[in-house]
Structure 1
């Protein structure tokens, strides 16, 4: 059944995030920071492995020995330009903030609204969480969404599922994302669980592409996408390690630019 792999992936994220939240509440802040740092280092390792795809033989054979690095650079520049104009980072953060408000709405105790002039039908909500809590939700949602969405398995696995070639790749991704969700949620809270939504939409869209379009990406194009995604993951790792908060979401269009540039260069 097309889409089963993505549903398993989403379930793994939700369960992993729930376990992480249960565990994180019992951990001191210092331990949470260590967990985040460790996850940042692992993301950096995964990023390096993905970026190494720039050396793949089929990629080099298709575009020439000197072109792969330029294709990745061009993809990041064009993708970053488009993403910044679309304000993708700000939009993703606003989505995270909206979900945080929806998930944290609770009625105000009766004693706190005694004498309220708004009447019985007035909306009664608690004061929003302090800025630190808001920042943790948004950072958890944004960082985990980027980690779960960036990478070849999200696209290749979903396309393979849509083509009817099995869900092995997405099951592997589900296992990786589930363990990552535990670590993320232990440090960053419920925002990590909310990232299951973008995963469902993103991978579901590529599953549909697999169903209707078939295998449309040659291996050289996949290598370009993987290498570009690896560099984006470096940006995610730098955020997690608190080195620098790069606007990685603004660069996400680079994942779509990379195969297009590869096709153009290979044609010449």
Structure 2
């Protein structure tokens, strides 16, 4: 049962609705300051995941190689293009709030939200973790942040933010099912290193949310694919050779 996936999608749905109702009632200062809190929470979740790491060299190598691959194939760019394709049907489903944003600014903001909710490193990591271990803690924690994030964005963009819950659920549910197929091939050490890799992505997401550094989060996602094979290789091949 994809409990975490369902809760996460509902948090975006209801957060968007409440934000649409609130409209301009929230001050700009409130929106800015609460986003900083979201960033700190993401950092805390990331640190909590990193401490379980078993093979640091394998995790670091996965992050470096994965990000390199992501940058080389413009992975983040393709995610942005996918979000642009989703923007058109989504904007037709829900009424758009009257806003001071230009059409270009509105589309840019909406695409940003789609990427954040549907292709964020924390969401993908949390969904994979839930599918492989049955533990939805990461997704449920992320849902709290997503609820308020969706509400803040909906204050400017309107109810259209709620519709993002539909593609988000579809994407995360597919990832959830794939994770169940992967889990029988894993070991506890591989799972721990996988969580640590996801923790680095959440930490980078937090830095980005508080505007300290714009880490290429989308381009870092391939690291999540590499980390478990590299963890297995380090444990079964490299470590015996070193000892």
Q: Aligned pair in 2 of structure 1 residues 222, 80: CA closer, same or farther (>3 Å)? A: same
Partner of 1:204: 174
Q: Aligned pair in 2 of structure 1 residues 147, 79: CA closer, same or farther (>3 Å)? A: closer
Q: 1:238 aligns with which of 182, 207, 217?
A: 207
TM-score (norm 2): 0.78
Hey, what's the Cα distance between the residues in 1 that align with 2:221 and 2:165? 16
Higher share in helix: 2
Shift of 1:228: 1.0
Shift of 1:225: 0.9
Shift of 1:45: 1.0
Gaps of 5+ in 1: 60-67, 107-127, 162-168
SS of the residue 1:104 aligns to = helix
Tell me how large the CA RMSD over aligned residues is: 2.8
Gaps of 5+ in 2: 94-100, 155-159, 238-243
SS of the residue 2:42 aligns to = helix
Q: Say whether 1:32 aligns with 2:31.
A: yes
Aligned 1:1-268 pairs, distance under 5 A: 2-3=1-2, 6-23=5-22, 25-54=24-53, 59=54, 68-105=55-92, 129-145=102-118, 146=120, 148-151=122-125, 153-160=126-133, 169-170=135-136, 172=137, 175-189=140-154, 190-191=160-161, 194=164, 197-210=167-180, 212=181, 215-268=184-237
Partner of 1:121: none
Runs of 4 or more, structure 1, over 6 Å off, are none
Larger Rg: 1
Cα pair 2:76 2:219 within 8 Å, conserved: yes
Hey, what's the Cα distance between the residues in 1 that align with 2:43 and 2:114? 19
